[in-house]
Amino acid sequence: MKLILLGPPGAGKGTQAKQLVDRFGIPQISTGDILRGAVKEGTPMGVKAKGFMDAGGLVPDEVVVGIVRERLQKQDCANGFILDGFPRTVPQADALKETLGELGKDLDSVVSLEVDAEALVERLTGRRTCKDCGRGFHVKFDPPRESKKCDACGGELIQRDDDKEETIRQRLQVYDDQTSPLVAYYREQGLLKAVDGMLAMDAVQEKILAAVQAP
Ligand code: AMP
């Protein structure tokens, strides 16, 4: 299955992608995770990306296109992949099409997760991640058993720098301006499947499964 999960920050792309990984045994390709890893390691790409990310803006297309192009060629993508957070602009979508063409592949579906703007702010401000194992929590919707401590490994739970309210507003604006045109882009290509992202996590997963398995 070759799938894109499209949707604004906080729509649940990462959470849903992880469940799909477990079910189908194909990799999740999250450009946000890859970029955060590069920032943490202090690689030249990470140093370049950090300013854009902290400001809630987009990292330049050529950087993320390069990341995805390289990642898609790895052996674990042979049976499919889930793109989470990429593409985010029309030029990225065009570059993806070109790369997949070179690899002799085609997208199967683009799932658009639809969530109200106000719900997104609440979801994002409450989001916490384990510093050690990366597991996600939410202070209101999925709180850890012990405050600020990961249920799985006991690691410290931290808030992403770009999950502060002011940066979130900027990220949502960037989504509206630069990423939302991709809904029409993929609808015109007959690939778009809209899913209600306001439902409970498991219900959203069921809707995604039904959507991607529908002819
Ligand atoms: P995410 O974890 O997907 O919310 O991404 C976090 C941040 O990484 C974004 O706000 C952007 O600054 C950057 N980023 C992730 N994916 C992309 C992309 N496809 N294009 C440009 N910037 C990206």
Q: Is residue 37 part of a domain?
A: no
Could you give the number of structural domains in the chain?
1
Q: Is 71 in the pocket of ligand 1 (CB under 6 A)?
A: no
φ and ψ at 136, to 5 degrees? -95, 145
Q: Is residue 93 part of a domain?
A: yes
Cα radius of gyration rounded to whole Å, the chain = 17
pLDDT tens digits along 107-141: 999 999 999 988 999 989 999 999 999 899 999 99
Q: Is residue 143 part of a domain?
A: yes
Q: Is residue 130 part of a domain?
A: yes
Q: Which pLDDT belongs to residue 29?
A: 97
Q: Containing H/E element for 173? A: helix 165-174
Q: Is residue 54 part of a domain?
A: no
Q: Which residue has the tokens 């940066």?
A: 167
Quick check: is 71 catalytic?
Answer: no
Q: Is 31 in the pocket of ligand 1 (CB under 6 A)?
A: yes
Q: Is 53 in the pocket of ligand 1 (CB under 6 A)?
A: yes
- Give the CA angle between residues 214, 33, 198 to the nearest 5°: 45
Q: Is residue 145 part of a domain?
A: yes
Q: Is residue 70 part of a domain?
A: no
Q: Is residue 65 part of a domain?
A: no
- Cα→Cα distances 167→11, 44, 69, 109, 140, Å: 16, 23, 28, 30, 20
Lowest mean pLDDT among 42-46, 116-120, 172-176, 206-210: 116-120
* 110: containing domain: 2-26+79-213
| Spatial separation of the C-alpha atoms in residues 28 and 82, rounded to whole Å | 5
Quick check: is 23 catalytic?
Answer: no
CA of 152 to the centre of ligand 1 (A): 26
CATH number at residue 18: 3.40.50.300
pLDDT tens digits along 14-59: 999 999 999 999 999 999 999 999 999 999 999 999 999 999 999 9
